[in-house]
Amino acid sequence: MQSGSRVRGSCKIMAYNGGLHVRMEIHMDNTVGSLTKHERSVIIGSLLGDGYMRIIPGRSDAFLEINHSIKARDYVDSKYSSLRRICTSPPKERSSGIEGRRAYRFFTNQMGELTRLYLRFYKNGEKVIPTDLKLDPLMLAIWYMDDGSQSRASDIYLNTQQFSLLNQKRLLHQLRELEISARLNKDKKYYRIRILKESIPHFMKVIKKHIVPSMRYKLVMTP
């Protein structure tokens, strides 16, 4: 039995040789109890980046998909290690649908608590930033490992082009709550977040202990 799985039971009572025979029927489902703080931060950080949630038609609860390039295998494995309590199967390699490209992914179980996150982070099928989001260092580190990039030695970006301007402004507010200064920069047609040069040392300090070994190339060495 998977740790944390919910067991649901029902009884059937039948006449048997003048007496009663009680048969307990046990049903397993893939739901688990409450998320830990660590699990929740990894999930929310992933939703800010490349993570994807959905509810299968006909089902009541949501699940999370983690899907990266096969080159990020170690990173996916680290996410799975953090979330394995709420997963049934380990990551698997698959064709990405683009010639010559391979993906590496896993899925969580369907959970009521994930459904509540889904309802906060998705509106009309589009990913949004909840007004009550409270960004923490682990969320920020996951977000940066998913969608962060460098352009020249002094420019750090969070590639937030998938979000509307309103939602990106909410993210800027959350960065300020962590004492990180940033602004929106137009990247061709869309905007993305740039960490201001004077905030890069503090930004790196906030996330450094959460960066997995395979992603340390994204750390900017600061005095």
- In the chain, the domains with their CATH numbers are 34-128 (3.10.28.10), 129-217 (3.10.28.10)
What amino acid is encoded at 162 in this protein?
Answer: Q
- Indicate the pTM of the whole model: 0.82
Query: Does an H or E element contain 165, and which?
Result: helix 165-177
| Average per-residue pLDDT for the chain | 86
Q: What's the pLDDT at 195?
A: 96
pLDDT per residue as tens digits for the range 165-192: 999 999 999 999 999 999 999 978 899 9
E strand or H helix that includes residue 175:
helix 165-177
Burial label, 184 (beta-carbon count in 10 A; 0-12, 13-18, 19+) = middle
Per-residue confidence (pLDDT) for residue 153, from 0 to 100:
66
Alpha helix stretches (DSSP H) within 130-164: 137-147
Query: Which residues make Cβ contacts (< 8 Å) with residue 86, sequence separation at least 6?
Result: 4, 32, 35, 39, 108, 109, 111
pLDDT at residue 9 above 50?
A: no
Angstrom distance (rounded) from CA 218 to CA 220: 6
Residue 152: both structure tokens together: 């020249």
* pLDDT given at position 124: 92
pLDDT at residue 154 in the model = 73
Average pLDDT estimate for 19-24: 40
